[in-house]
Structure 1
């Protein structure tokens, strides 16, 4: 029974894996261009990390966190965002599909529309940016005095998986909104990419309206800040309980609930390219 289920799953995933494989091969075909893409992505990530470093040349601590603690927050959030951007970021192309009417081509294939869109491309250049987040996270884990236990290892793993799921859900949520906005990608980018920036900062300096938006409605604080606080043994702000850092999986479920609702409403609203 297990072998039959595995074979069925492989058969179902084969078309998607074939498309992803072709996209990956096409990006690696021109080695010089691919190397430049990797370098540019690496520089973007390095510059964003340098911005944090420059900030802490002026202050010793921000929101109760010093530079080594911020490295942990930045590393967690940036790594999760970069991986989500690599595998889901091309959902940003949906407005161009809507304007050109090429989204209708997806409807001709006997696979779910969202799954087709997600597996239609993969941005391998984002691996370089993810490497910056991974290095920052590793350095933050080494420099901070963390009393390691199995619970700490488990929380770190949950934070990475959940953070990736939160950012991936944000890309899908933005895609669903584009069925209504079409030319308003900057509106959703303010929450997707703005949320990524907010996630790499100490949320303890936010005011209550920011906490309402990027703390709970779009739960960016669960991608880096709150799990990092638990790892470091710091108390969360605003009287939140110490165990709130463990709620990252719940934040991921909430984000995907928003994402799938947005996508479902958007698809129902779509009437075709009109061509």
Structure 2
């Protein structure tokens, strides 16, 4: 299959203009496909409301488990309930946004196995946009809403001396955290070009990473904390900036200025994920080959 057909978009002289055109086409195609699925979903409004509420209720059980823990202890790893709720709210909202936008890519391995990915390759639209928008599930908004509710509770009850920098850090955490999770989604999808049945591996870093970050870093081994800081930098979703916001010390001795790094880490992760995606797509040789 020609590389131009895989990537989508008309040939444009020069790599930078070509990438810009492809990116614009990808965003437009993603929006059109998403709009189609949203119209399909809203044709059955009661069904959508029930599934969205079910999604919200199901994800809420994670926080109920935390509440049950705090019914027996006053602190978890030295962190109070509002502080843990702050961790939970930021990572759940960030993950919910990434899952809403890119959650469908975890089905890429199935498309590789059954050959339906070939249909996407011949369309003049970037493959990633098609895979990400396919079967867009608006019900996933329930996870975002639930995370925002817990975050609102945390902000109302946590004891913090708010400054303009700390206030600005909260929405920045959510946005950068969503970008980091998005990078993990795309990198995991790229891995499925090789493994073909690696959705569980991808979920270990996406859903598993979200669960990990809901709890204080002080309850985990330092080697694990270092791994999610320097190897798979999920700690920059909320652990690192949250320690600045809450006035806490890093368990692995990171300096305070590391709280400024999430935007740069997110940008680097997205760039690395894009490279991994292009490499995986070029390595794909169609089903049965």
In the superposition, the TM-score normalised over structure 1's length comes to 0.90
RMSD between superposed Cα atoms in Å:
2.1
Q: CA deviation at 1:10?
A: 12
**Match runs of 1:17-36 below 5 Å:** 17-36=31-50
Identify the range of structure 1 (223-232 vs 156-165) with the bigger mean alpha-carbon deviation. Answer: 223-232
The equivalent residue for 1:48 is 62
Distance 1:39 1:11, change over 3 A: same
Identify the range of structure 1 (49-58 vs 246-255) with the bigger mean alpha-carbon deviation. Answer: 246-255
The equivalent residue for 1:172 is 186
The equivalent residue for 1:78 is 92
The equivalent residue for 1:255 is 269
Retained in 1: the 8 A contact 2:29–2:130? Answer: no
Distance 1:67 1:37, change over 3 A: same
1:189 to 203, 219, 225: 203
Distance 1:242 1:10, change over 3 A: closer
The equivalent residue for 1:101 is 115
Distance 1:213 1:188, change over 3 A: farther
Whole-angstrom distance in 2 between the partners of 1:18 and 1:10? 14
Task: State how many pairs are aligned.
Answer: 268
Retained in 2: the 8 A contact 1:198–1:214? Answer: no
Tell me the SS of whatever aligns to 2:138: coil
Distance 1:189 1:142, change over 3 A: same
Whole-angstrom distance in 2 between the partners of 1:143 and 1:80? 21
Distance 1:15 1:112, change over 3 A: closer
Whole-angstrom distance in 2 between the partners of 1:266 and 1:45? 32
The answer to whether structure 1 residue 89 and structure 2 residue 103 are counterparts is: yes
The answer to whether structure 1 residue 129 and structure 2 residue 151 are counterparts is: no
The answer to whether structure 1 residue 144 and structure 2 residue 152 are counterparts is: no
The gaps in structure 2 that reach 5 residues or longer are: 1-20
Whole-angstrom distance in 1 between the partners of 2:88 and 2:252? 21
Whole-angstrom distance in 1 between the partners of 2:34 and 2:167? 32
Retained in 1: the 8 A contact 2:179–2:266? Answer: yes
Listed one character per residue, the Cα deviations across residues 233-274 of structure 1 (whole Å, up to 9, x for unaligned) are 112222211222221112212322332232122112210124
Retained in 1: the 8 A contact 2:33–2:130? Answer: no
Whole-angstrom distance in 2 between the partners of 1:67 and 1:254? 33
1:198 to 212, 233, 247: 212
Distance 1:163 1:10, change over 3 A: closer
1:265 to 279, 283, 286: 279
The equivalent residue for 1:153 is 167
Whole-angstrom distance in 2 between the partners of 1:246 and 1:52? 29
